[in-house]
Amino acid sequence: MRVDNYRERVMRPLAQRLGIPRLNFQILRRTMATQAQNMGSVKDIQAHLRHAKADTTANEYMQELPESVQEMVGSVYLRLATGGEQKRGLGDLQQNATKSTDQQALSC
């Protein structure tokens, strides 16, 4: 599979649906590094990204992301993942999102 083919077939339409100007593998790597900063150490993220130096991971790939912003992004994601259901509590939304993800994994 050619990278440019995948980018045109999958990533460009996804970026359009999400309303973001562009999406590429580098953006996904940097997003993962930023999102994972509270889920493991810099060394863990460095190993995942296969960087030779932890400084590269910390200084070039990870952006500071306050906890309040992470919570807001998580809440928006859950609302989108559940079709905009607003009347349920956050715990119910997380449970449903987990079930949905589990069902998708089983169907693959």
39-65, pLDDT tens digit by residue? 888 999 999 898 999 888 888 888 887
Asked if 99 and 107 count as a contact pair (C-beta separation under 8 A), the reply is no
The CA dihedral of 67, 69, 70, 75, to the nearest 10 degrees, is 130
Q: Domain limits of the chain? A: 3-61, 67-107
Of the CA atoms within 13 Å of residue 68, those in its CB half-sphere come to: 0
62-96, pLDDT tens digit by residue? 888 788 887 888 888 888 888 766 545 555 555 55
Question: pTM (2 decimals)?
Answer: 0.53
